[in-house]
Structure 1
Amino acid sequence: MKSRLIVAALACAGYVAVAPAAAPRFFDDDPIARVPDSQDASRVQPWEISLSYDSLLNMFGHPGEPGTVRAQDVNSIDELPDSSWFTNRLGVQAMTADEMRRGVSSDTGPAPGKWTVRTGKGNGVSPGFTVTDTRGHRYFVKFDPPGWNELATGAEVAVTRFYHAFGYYVPQTNIAYVRREDLVLGDGATTTGADGKKRPMKTGDIDSNLARAAREPDGRYRTIVSTALEGKPLGGFKYADTRPDDPNDVVPHERMRVLRALRAFGAWVGHTDAKAINSLDTLITDRGRAAVRHNLLDFGSTLGSGGIGPKDPWEEHEYLVEVPPAMHALPLLGFVPRKWMLIRYPEFNRIGRFEADHFDPPEWRPRIPNAAFLRARPDDLFWGARLLSRMSNELVRAGIEAGRFTDEKAAQDLVQILIQRRDKILRAWLPAVNPVVDPRLSGDGELRFQNAAVEAKVADAPDAYQAVWSEFDNTTGQTRRIGETSGRDSIRAPSGLPERTGSYVQVEISAPRASQKAWATPVHAWFKRTGGGWKLVGFERMP
């Protein structure tokens, strides 16, 4: 088992390609449901990723391995196993509206009473503190920008709920209100000065932070309160390459579906600030062994929020620096209207600039190019879209309710915008590849499966599916054709399937006469004969 996991981690053998000759493609434990961190990571050291350098590198360089290859963090059936990056939640079981509103944990925020300020916020664009409540529980506190009450706080809490539901590691966030007199300076409190150095914090530092925060009509300040993530903070992760001192971080990040699929989720919620500084690795020690967990955080620049105000009109449509549109504008001295210049946004201060009518998923852009997003293949985006299809209207509404927007009409509009954007993503990326999912082969040779695009009502079912059956040699990778059959709701296997326990059969499933040309390209499914029937051990949507 140990050698199997090491091979899987280092080379993804059996996950992404036929293994070398004389080595089996599938192992007894396939498909793996969880990838454990088999190596001790106790020597990993904290690092700081420069925001300016990381932004410049991604805008003008090409970080990461060249080319676009199949994701290397998927298991043998083309799914993401649980790992230090991801835990299957909405993808494997239904979620209730109450669970969506609850979030990561049952923590609902600070206890009544004074908040003791321990540190001033050292990075990011919005004011904030680290505080402890009367129980001694620690929270990170952020505020809305002046004049834009609820804009960033509501967006961050709602979107954090959504990303937790998808399966990512995020902090627990809640909305809380505080008055100035309930913020007291703690003994030994520190803040970071303009020179980047720590210094003792003064009472005036609290006031200067609050001067950059929105205030409610009753004098209170609305805040996001976030719980501390589990483990020792190590700094963020990059969307390309690996962390060199983490022995378990062996797949280049730009080749990970867990990060590539964030393009689909980011497009849905308008997460234009998906970059290294908005992530955090933490070192978690359990029973004497340390491992790094990879967390996402800071969703203040989502929905219609740009963090310090509404999104700029160009956001989601262009990168911060994008040469072609600028070059096209040169002949008329820049007076060439771009599409985003003509968009009229809903007039709600509390939700900012966010709409669905002009939303085009394949054309969506974050502020800064993202190495993992740029390498996302159609099968990665299909996977993300299928997971998003499980985000029901009820769950969307519950997530927005967690953001506690007080303008009911604005909140309702936000829900409808997200529903429309979700549906556009499903229409764009579910039918773009062969959408056959969940193949099952009964002991008597009946093949059943679903069509994710048809289930999501974004495509019509084909008249028939075709299946090409072959016996598969798990050691050499060679196949021996058995026959070809077809059907609509299910497909019967031809005679001649191997009967020996431990034998394998390969099935290529396609819909060659479907209106979508991509469906003529077959998916490949591999089944292993066991004592209880046929077990799905392999699946490949794209080579």
Structure 2
Amino acid sequence: MNAKKTQRGFVALLLAITSACAAAPAARVRYANRDPIWQVMDQRLIRQPEVREFSVVDKVQTMYMVPVIDGLGFPGFETAHNINAIGEVPNSSWWTNRIGVRDVTPEELAIGPGAGMPAPEPPFTIKRTKVGGMGIGFIVEDAAGNAHIMKFDDPLFPEGESAADIILARLLWGVGYFTPDDQIIHFRRDQLIIDEGAVRENQFGDEVPLDDEHLDQTLALVNRPDENGVYRGFTSRFLDGVVIGGYPMQGRRGDDPNDRIDHEHRRDVRAQGVFLAWLDQADIKEDNTLDMWVPVRDEAELGYVRHHLVDFGRGLGTFGAHDKRPWIGWAPQFDWGYFAGSLVTFGLWQRPWDGVRASRLPAIGRYSVDAYEPQLWAPNRLWFPLRRMDRLDAFWASKIIMRYDREHIEAVVAVAELSDPRSSEYLVEQILARQRKTARHWFQGTAPFDGFRIEATEAGDHRVCATDLWRYYGFDELPVSYRFTAYDHAGEALSWESEPRADDAGRLCADGLPHGLTHEDYTIVRMDLTRGDDELPATLVHFARNDEDELRLIGVHRL
């Protein structure tokens, strides 16, 4: 059976169940009469937590045991716990709303998390070799004394990993995550200085002095210098605070009282499945998250934990192309379903990645829109929160990535400094194409209304407006109809309904809306949308009167 059709059938079944459970036209959810919360106070000062270690046993459990145990149950879908009344993720130590709620210029995005910090300049003083990870690298200080991790491209794949790292660090920062300030650097061999006391690990794991001979042997393994003897590398500036390890994919940090929501129930963590699929960052794992205990300046012994995503060099399809593992992006290292399918068909089953080839352009990996299916994308290792992502998590993430336009993507790709302009052009086009394919898929799972507002009219009633994002972003034109109805706090129908029409930008308004007569004039507007033959789950928009005697938006409930 076609996997894509199976997935669509399963989603249709879930939508039917959801609709049946919410049969009352106005549902049962009610909201407090207040503005939605946009800031979570999860930075209460605490003492430094212990460093979390991710052991070999943890990795085995992640790859093999958790999928089996999870597959034996039917956990269902549970609405994310860290959203506000309108379904958005407030600012916190995990997430800061950027392009999702405000304008971010291409120039700001190109700078990214490094705003206000000087670019790393040679000479670079090597303190020690990099610890952890598979790539070659050093811990260095730049000319200004700032500490960085210095990394390099593989000589068989020049510019690929550094470009992916630079691009993803900025795009993921732009949507809201905390990421490090990563930069492309150029230097000559004589601009690498070995610090007195610099060390490396030998083959036995012991620390021994780092000398020029070993440094030259190491540089011979990375991308070659150009005709002027200039090396290309990339740096990741040290994050503020003290490293306390990655965050667990399930549960919480037991030593951080601010960590009050299980990670698999955080929308900003679960919806990584959309952001990472778009950018094909299949190398998501606990090792590539990083918690930092950030001390407060006036209270050196007290601070708070900030959560980061790090290390993006395997994104944009470089992982599968570099390691010659064509299934990366479609299946984890071991997938019971694909294993069984291949076994029972004696290897004759055509798997989704069969026949997919990497681009022949320099620095371009196995990154293309052609064989990409957002709902089938998978990381290389099980990342448990992605298994809990629901259609509303995915819709939330999709509408954020659609805020990026061509100018944003071009600005970020330019920072990667690819030597072949064809590679830059290819990446821009593929990132934009996968962006639209991602959003188009997830917009089909719910009525994609956004931009809700209400305003008083001269007639003494109200006008309620929204935007159909499907039409706003110019997805295919299908016959569409809208129907708005209104209810009071008790769920009783008000004598009003409207069938508004959207303009070319997807904006639609309905006049003459009456208000409820109880609970501060509590009013619920149910927005139904039928596109083609699909009647999508309705959106219920809640309003109530504030202290200024105006109806305001207090909640959005998507069925």
Counterpart position of 1:7: none
Counterpart position of 2:337: 324
Taking the aligned partners of 1:463 and 1:179, their CA distance within structure 2 comes to 61
SS in structure 1 opposite 2:168? helix
Counterpart position of 1:271: 281
Query: What is the TM-score when the length of structure 2 is the normalising length?
Result: 0.85
Query: What is the TM-score when the length of structure 1 is the normalising length?
Result: 0.88
Shift of the 199–245 alpha-carbon distance from structure 1 to 2, 3 Å rule, reads: farther
Taking the aligned partners of 1:328 and 1:496, their CA distance within structure 2 comes to 57
Counterpart position of 1:524: 540
Counterpart position of 2:243: 233
Specify which of 25, 28, 36 is matched with residue 31 of structure 1. Answer: 36
Q: What is the count of residue pairs matched by the alignment?
A: 511
1:274-293 equivalences in 2 (<5 Å): 274-286=284-296, 287-288=298-299, 289-293=302-306
Letter in 1 for 2:443: L
- 1:121 matched to 2:130: yes
Taking the aligned partners of 1:186 and 1:43, their CA distance within structure 2 comes to 30
Taking the aligned partners of 1:283 and 1:137, their CA distance within structure 2 comes to 19
Specify which of 100, 103, 107 is matched with residue 94 of structure 1. Answer: 103
Counterpart position of 1:156: 165
Taking the aligned partners of 2:225 and 2:320, their CA distance within structure 1 comes to 18
- 1:452 matched to 2:464: no
C-alpha displacement of 1:436: 1.4
Counterpart position of 1:315: 328
C-alpha displacement of 1:199: 4.6
- 1:83 matched to 2:83: no
Taking the aligned partners of 1:137 and 1:43, their CA distance within structure 2 comes to 23
Shift of the 465–190 alpha-carbon distance from structure 1 to 2, 3 Å rule, reads: same
Shift of the 311–283 alpha-carbon distance from structure 1 to 2, 3 Å rule, reads: farther
How many percent of aligned residue pairs carry the same amino acid? Answer: 27
Taking the aligned partners of 1:390 and 1:170, their CA distance within structure 2 comes to 19
Specify which of 522, 528, 533 is matched with residue 504 of structure 1. Answer: 522
C-alpha displacement of 1:479: 3.5
Deviation per residue, 1:398-455 (Å, 9 max, x gap) = 1111111111111111111111111111211112211111222223321111111221
1:44-193 equivalences in 2 (<5 Å): 44-50=49-55, 53-54=58-59, 56-62=61-67, 66-106=75-115, 107=117, 109-112=119-122, 114-193=123-202
C-alpha displacement of 1:364: 1.0
Taking the aligned partners of 1:461 and 1:509, their CA distance within structure 2 comes to 18
Counterpart position of 2:252: 242
Letter in 1 for 2:510: I
Worse-superposed segment, 454-463 or 389-398: 454-463
Taking the aligned partners of 1:307 and 1:205, their CA distance within structure 2 comes to 30
SS in structure 2 opposite 1:306? helix
C-alpha displacement of 1:336: 4.3
Taking the aligned partners of 1:484 and 1:460, their CA distance within structure 2 comes to 29
C-alpha displacement of 1:100: 2.0
Taking the aligned partners of 2:482 and 2:346, their CA distance within structure 1 comes to 55
Taking the aligned partners of 1:319 and 1:413, their CA distance within structure 2 comes to 27
Q: Retained in 1: the 8 A contact 2:364–2:423?
A: yes
Taking the aligned partners of 1:505 and 1:195, their CA distance within structure 2 comes to 70
Deviation per residue, 1:178-212 (Å, 9 max, x gap) = 22222121122233444555454344442343233
Shift of the 533–55 alpha-carbon distance from structure 1 to 2, 3 Å rule, reads: farther
Shift of the 51–282 alpha-carbon distance from structure 1 to 2, 3 Å rule, reads: farther
SS in structure 2 opposite 1:103? helix
Taking the aligned partners of 1:297 and 1:491, their CA distance within structure 2 comes to 46
Shift of the 274–432 alpha-carbon distance from structure 1 to 2, 3 Å rule, reads: same
Deviation per residue, 1:341-393 (Å, 9 max, x gap) = 21233212411222111111111111112211111111111111101111111
SS in structure 1 opposite 2:353? helix
Worse-superposed segment, 298-307 or 212-221: 212-221
Worse-superposed segment, 188-197 or 240-249: 188-197
Letter in 2 for 1:124: G
Counterpart position of 1:12: none
Specify which of 447, 463, 466 is matched with residue 434 of structure 1. Answer: 447
Taking the aligned partners of 2:211 and 2:515, their CA distance within structure 1 comes to 81
Letter in 2 for 1:50: S
1:453-492 equivalences in 2 (<5 Å): 453-460=470-477, 463-472=480-489, 478-488=490-500, 489-492=508-511
Taking the aligned partners of 1:51 and 1:76, their CA distance within structure 2 comes to 41
SS in structure 2 opposite 1:61? helix
Q: Retained in 2: the 8 A contact 1:216–1:222?
A: yes
Shift of the 77–217 alpha-carbon distance from structure 1 to 2, 3 Å rule, reads: same
SS in structure 1 opposite 2:394? helix
